[in-house]
Each structure stands twice: as structure tokens, then as C-alpha cells.
Chains A and B, each alone.
Chain A
Amino acid sequence: MNIFLLSLCLIVVGGSLPLLTYRRFVLTKFLYALTTTIGCLTGLFALCTSYSHLERLSWSWSWLHTFSLSFTFDSLSFFFLLPIFLICPLAAIYSFHYFDDEEKSFRIAVNLFFTNILIASMILVTTAGNMLTLALVWEIMSVSSFFLVIYDYEKETSRTAGYLYFLFAQAGALIIFASFAVIFSHTASFEFNGAATLPESTKLLVFFLAFIGFGSKAGVFPLHIWLPHAHPAAPSHISAIMSGVMIKMGIYGILRIYFILESTNLLMGQTILVFGMISGVLGVLYALGKHNIKRLLAYHSVENIGIILIGAGLGMIGLSLGDLTMAGFGFGGCLLHVLNHSIFKSLLFMGAGTVIKQTGTAHVDQLGGLMKTMPTTGKSFLVGSVSISGLPPFNGFISEFLIYFAAFIGLQYPPHATLLLTILAIISLAIIGGLASFCFTKVVGIVFLGEPRSKQFTKTTEGGLAMTIPMVILATACLIIGIFPQQFIALAVNGLRDLNGLELLDPALCTAIGAQLALASRLFLLIFVVIFFIRKVLYRKKEITSGPTWGCGFTQGTTRIQYTGTSYARTVVSFFKPFVMLEESTIRLKKIFPGQTTYTNQVGDIAEAGMAKGLTGPLVNLLGRLRWIQHGNVQLYIGYIIMAIMVVLLTLFI
């Protein structure tokens, strides 16, 4: 018996159990977390024990005697399976304390069920061996995650978010199927491996169709609109799974299609690179302007998808130019960032979830001073923030460095477009890194530091153990990848081991880079620890008094004089005005002693506004004019059918 199938069974059974036992609330949650964790660990075990001959795990069966559903394993699927098996059990454990409303136990049971269906379908997506299988499991994944988004279905916003997500998921799936159909029309088989024989222009068509389709799942810039709506609506650990793992399936799809096409067209890599840069910069920019913490994190997912795509684009360009070092580092950085992002983004979503759950608000400017009342959450969140900003000694630094490295290798190639794009990639990576750090100083500074902005938040408590432990584990993982990067870099580069056309990166170079990165990270950590101790030693004999933050010597200090996130980010946001639709109220002080005044700003997404104006607006207008077709008269509906049949018959005969 294939151990891997056993793990799948465990996950599905673990998800179905709550439907039966939901009346025993605590038992249900416990059983669910236990089975899901065991299932994922079994899968991980199965993967690791057969790492050197993954194809042994493959299985297939024929379905309806016409199609065969086949599941194959190679190094790329192995690498994308890692985040699934690492993040999902932690999210399952997190849900133990996150879901504590016993009155909603049935709804929670349904939610848990769909969570595990989502996990299982993601596992199957990464292992799907032919197009039909991929299409089928892809749909299961989209639909199950849709049910997760509408968990709070009484809320209008949740329903809208769910609807938006559903639209994007289905439209994306449709375009993916279209690209498969193009392949099928040439090869007449559902297998992936025939795709390499397509003519070059068709390959481009297939690739761009697949890029749009998978990109809408991944959250590439103009198609990312569902992300900032769906994530705040979904429960936090679901956001963690969706943002940490599910959107990576889009990346997986893009990479998979790229490698089965075996094309070396430079255009593909350049397109991916351009979209990566746009997503990265605009994602982080919109994140800066958002006040809802989960929406902000959702935009950071767009940003990180951008970074991942920059890596992938550089890798593809490297492959087209025949430079395997550049390709290896580009793809290696891309894959490692997939893993890293899944770790720190789920950490951040879990942290945000804990904050929202304990305080009851998601608005950044209403929170404050939570570091004192929720130290574990605060510190884990801080670790996640440093990681996502790409700073040493944490993991984000490692993967971003690899991408930088690939870009710098790319600088030596004279073709104008490539050179220009590589330079732009370096610049945008730098901008992204800087803005991300800025944005997370805002989040951490406003939410966790300072003083509570409202009396009700002074008594917040730490979330339950099941919520803090996963965060601590993830934070530790961030640090471990940061300090011992060699193995992980080797793992990421080996992720391309089984893919055609790519020889292994020179292991010596890989180790050397890893060792230097490790040295840098450790040095950084060492300096940090040394300074910390020096400070401790120096202050040992001095008396330390602590006053209120932002006290500034006022006798009647008020917490309202603190910086707000809005004002903090305003300077940067207004600098990028052409790209962000900043709507703000103006403040005019009329008197010497002005009275009460208010300021609000709203940052609009140009993709969202553009799509509303250019696509949905005209569409709704057009369809509104066709509404008379649906009049409710049954007889005329039958008339339509007769008309249709007549048209078909007449076109046949004449």
C-alpha cells in the first residue's frame, strides 16, 4: 500500500469526521486537528523516505473507461508539497482555539471538512500527471476554497468576497482549460509530455493563456482583485492556508506549463519578469495604504507573488540565454521564496488572526500596545515581519538574495531589452524590500507598540496555546532557514532536478553561496545578541523606570497623540500618486485654536477601478439591455428552444 495514499485518506477522513461528531464540540476539534496533523506528517514521511526515487509514489486509475486519472511525482511536485504538509497541520492546530463558538459548531464542522478537501485537492494538484486530472482537481480546489471564504455568510461583505473569488477562480479555470484545449488540439492526448512538440507560436499562446489562468489564482497584478477581499472575509487560518499555500498552486501551474513546453523563447521570461515587477511594487504600495490588517497582508501576498515571479522570470531568461547559473539561481530563489513566503505569510496571518480574535477589530489604527499584553503573538509577528521584509537573519533574506544574485548575473548579457529588464528587476526588488520594511514598521509599530488606543484593549489576553504554538513553530522555522540556508538552497535548486532541459546547478557554487549567506546571517544574529547582552550588562546596575510610550513629558498625555498608520504611510503613498488612487479629505485650519477636525484617506486599487470601469461596467450595461430576454414567460422560453433547433437544422441543410 502506498503510504502517500494513506496520508490522503487520513486527511479526507479527518475532514469528514467533524460532520459526524459536531455535537461534541471540543472532541470534534481535537480529533480533527489530530487526524489532519497525522495525515500531513504521514505524507511528509512518505515523501522524505522516497526522496531519491519519487516516481515510485505515482499511481493512476482509469475513470469511466475513457480517461485515466494519473498522479505522478517529480522534484517540482515534491517541493510544492512541502509547504502543504508543513503549513496545513499548523493551521489545523490553530483552528482548535480559533474556532471557539460552540453555537456555530455545525458550520465549523463544514468549514473543517472543506479545509481538508482543499488540502487534499492541493496535494493532488501538485501531483496531477495529465491535463484532465489537473483540471479536475483544480476545480475541486477552487470550489472547496470558495466555501471556506463564505464562512461568515450572513455578512454582506463575505458574500461579495466569495462571489468575487468564485468569479475569478472560474474565469481563471476556464482560461486554463482553454490552454489545455490548445495543447489537446495539436497532440490529441491529455498527457503533458506531448506539449513539447507544439509549433513555437502555439507554445506562446498556450503559455500566455495558462499564465492568465494560473496567474488569477496566484494573484498576479491585474488579476489579484479577489485577494484583498477574500482574505479578510475568510477565517484567519484559512487565509493562512490560502495565502501561504493555495496561491502557490498558481505558481506551480505556471512553472509546470513552462517546463512541459520546453520552449526557450525569451518573451516568456520577459513577460513573467515584467508582471512580477508590477505585482511586487504595486502590491506593497497598496498594502501601505490599507488599514485593515488582513487586507494589508493580502496585498503583501500580491507583492510576494511578484518577487516569486521575478525569480521565475529571471530563471526563464537565464534558460533562454543558456546561462544555467542564472537560471538555477532564478528558479532556486523563486522556489525557496515559495517555501519562505508560505512560512512567514501564514505566520503573519495567524498573528493577525489572534489579534483580531482577541481584540475584535481588524483596523490597524484602533489597535496599539499589544506587545505588552500579547508578547508571544507580538514577537512571532515581529519575526514574520522581519522575514517578509527580506532582512537577515531570517529566511526572506536568503531567497531574495538568490533572486538578486540571478539578476546580477543577468547584467552581463548585452541584449538591450534583457539588460534593461534585469536592471529594472534589481531596482524593483530594492523598492519592494524598502517599502515592505516600511509597511511592516507601520504594522508592528502601530499595532504592537505604543499604548492601547482604547480602554477596552488594555485587558486583551494572549490567545490559547493552540494558537501561539503554531506561530512559535513558524517563527522558529523562519530563523532556522535563515541561519542554516545551505540545505534549503540545495533543496530548492534540486526542485528542478527532474525537469527537462535544466542541468543541476554546480553544487560547489551552490554550497559556497549558501555558506556565505549563512555566515552573513549568523554574523548578523551574533551582532544582535552581543549588543543585546552589552546593553543588559551596561544597564544592570542602573535604575530603570518605565513611563507611558509617547509620554513626551506631558502631564495629561493622551493615547490619541500617537502616530497613526494612516499618517505614517501618507508621505510614501502620496509620493506614488499616479499609481494609487488616493482619496483624502483636506484639512483646513481656520482659527488659531482650531476645533475638532477629521482626516480620512482611502487608497484605491487601479486594477480594481480599471476593471470596474473598463470591463464590468460596460458588461453590466450591455447585459442590462438584454434583460428583456428573461421575461419569465415559459411559452416563449420554449419558443427560444425551437428557434435554436431550427437554426441548427437549417444551417445543416442549407
Chain B
Amino acid sequence: MINLNDAVLVIILLTILLSLASNRLLSLVKNMAIQGFMVSLIPLLLERHSSIGSGGLIFFQVMILIKAVLIPGLLYVALKRISIKREIEPIVGYHASLFAGLVIILLSIFITDKLHLSVPDGNEMLLTTAITTMSAGFFLMMSRRKAITQVIGYLMLENGIYLVGTALTKHSHTIYVVEFGVLLDLLVGVMIMGIIMHNINHAYDDIDTDRLNRLKD
């Protein structure tokens, strides 16, 4: 029987690899929507043996709404407004990024193995995926020039943190209150980033973060 949980995790890993290799910003945003959706599904799948109260249900629905619809939607709008289609001249090339993604997965397995955390049974894969997502988010932030890609990298990082939280907690939805707070912060952050990007675009005719270098003191 196919383990639904593992299947979702595999999809998440695939979205990570895809986002590392894609040069179109629009597909990157769509990718993020899928990833957000999958990530928010994970707790539901893990909790399939336990009963979820109505509060918990609303909680996860809101989570899906924000992660899969709202944030990608905002990014989409921002993308449309600044009319940029693709990432040109990334710092690390696409093939190299893809390769780095594979290395990151291997490293994550190594780290999960070494961490010796008391993970609930069957969640080792989850922790691996979580660390991969975090590292990949970092890598994406580091290796791309456009501000919007950086935001996407940051989102990926947050998804990873969320997964770590899911892996380590004992699946009581009250713990997600903290996560929820972080998510709201993130939402506001993305909105502000949209506005700032708009302004950067105005000021520099570009959203390359390289141009921000001259703001240093």
C-alpha cells in the first residue's frame, strides 16, 4: 500500500528540485503554491489516527489558505506588476543548483541521522524533508539575484521550519499557534516586500538586489 504521507513528502522534494532548476519566475510561484499546499497537508496526514477537533480543522484550513493561495497570490500580483518573467544571470547556474539540491538532500539525510532526535515513528523522512527544504530555501536566497526569488527562498525556509515543527511536536494543533503567528508575520512580510519591490523597481528600473549594495554604509 502506498504510504500517502511519503508520497506527499516526495512531492515536496520534487517541488524543491524544480524550484532550484526553474528560471521562470511564474513557474516558481506556482511551484511555491503546490509546495505550500503539500506542506500544510502533512499535519493532517500525520494526525489521521487521532481525532481533530473543529478548531483544529479550521486551523489547518486557514493554513492551507494562506500558504497555498494567499501568499502565492500576492507574489503573483507583485510579479505581474513589475513585469519580469525570468531570472537572468543567477549567481549559481541552474544545473549546478540542481546538483546542489541533490547534495543538500544527501546532507540532510546525514544530518537527520546524526541528530538523534526523538522523532515519532515513521517521521524520519519528514525530518529529512524539513531540513532539505530549509537548506534549499537558504540556497535559493543565496544563489539568486532578484528580490522576488529571495522572498520565495525565504518562504521555502519558513515551510522547512514548519515541517521541523510538525516532525518534532506530538501533533496537537495547539502547538501550531506559534506557527500560525509566524505565518501571519510572513504574510505581512510578503505584502511589504511586494510594495518595496515595486518601489525598488521604480527607483532602479530593476529588482536586482545587487543594486542595493550601494545602500551600505
Chain A residues within an 8 Å CB radius of B215: 632
Greatest chain B CB density within 10 A among A630, A632, A636, A649 is at A632
Chain B residues within an 8 Å CB radius of A642: 135, 138-139, 142
Q: How large is the interface on A (under 10, 10 to 19, 20 to 34, 35 or more residues)?
A: 10 to 19
Chain A residues within an 8 Å CB radius of B139: 642
Chain A residues within an 8 Å CB radius of B214: 632
Q: Does A635 contact B (CB under 8 A)?
A: yes
| Number of interchain pairs (Cβ within 8 Å) | 35
**Could you tell me if B142 and A633 are in contact, using CB atoms closer than 8 angstroms?**
no
Q: How many residues of B contact A (CB 8 A)?
A: 20
**Could you tell me if A634 and B216 are in contact, using CB atoms closer than 8 angstroms?**
no
Instruction: Give the shortest distance, in Å, between B204 (CB) and chain A (any CB).
Output: 14
Instruction: Give the shortest distance, in Å, between B179 (CB) and chain A (any CB).
Output: 21
With A641-B138, A642-B138 as given contacts, are A635 and B216 in contact (CB-CB < 8 Å)?
no
| A 170-185 binary contact with B (CB < 8 Å = 1; else 0) | 0000000000000000
Bound-state CA distance A630–B217 (Å) is: 9
Q: Does B27 contact A (CB under 8 A)?
A: no
Main secondary structure of the interface of A (DSSP, over half): helix
**Could you tell me if B141 and A638 are in contact, using CB atoms closer than 8 angstroms?**
yes
Instruction: Give the shortest distance, in Å, between B141 (CB) and chain A (any CB).
Output: 5
Bound-state CA distance A633–B111 (Å) is: 29
Chain A residues within an 8 Å CB radius of B209: 634-635
Bound-state CA distance A636–B209 (Å) is: 11
Bound-state CA distance A634–B111 (Å) is: 26
**Could you tell me if A638 and B142 are in contact, using CB atoms closer than 8 angstroms?**
yes
**Could you tell me if A633 and B213 are in contact, using CB atoms closer than 8 angstroms?**
yes
With A641-B138, A642-B142 as given contacts, are A634 and B91 in contact (CB-CB < 8 Å)?
no
With A633-B210, A634-B209 as given contacts, are A639 and B216 in contact (CB-CB < 8 Å)?
no
Within 8 A of B (CB), among A628-654: 630-636, 638-639, 641-642, 649, 653
Q: Does B166 contact A (CB under 8 A)?
A: no
**Could you tell me if B114 and A631 are in contact, using CB atoms closer than 8 angstroms?**
no
Q: Does B117 contact A (CB under 8 A)?
A: no
Chain B residues within an 8 Å CB radius of A649: 111
| B 177-217 binary contact with A (CB < 8 Å = 1; else 0) | 00000000000000000000000000000000110111111
A633 nearest CB neighbor, chain B only: B213
B139 nearest CB neighbor, chain A only: A642
Chain B residues within an 8 Å CB radius of A636: 142
Instruction: Give the shortest distance, in Å, between B182 (CB) and chain A (any CB).
Output: 18
With A649-B111, A653-B114 as given contacts, are A634 and B150 in contact (CB-CB < 8 Å)?
yes
**28 A-B pairs with C-beta separation under 8 A:** A630-B216, A631-B216, A632-B212, A632-B214, A632-B215, A632-B216, A633-B210, A633-B213, A634-B150, A634-B209, A634-B212, A635-B91, A635-B141, A635-B142, A635-B143, A635-B144, A635-B209, A636-B142, A638-B138, A638-B142, A641-B138, A642-B135, A642-B138, A642-B139, A642-B142, A649-B111, A653-B111, A653-B114
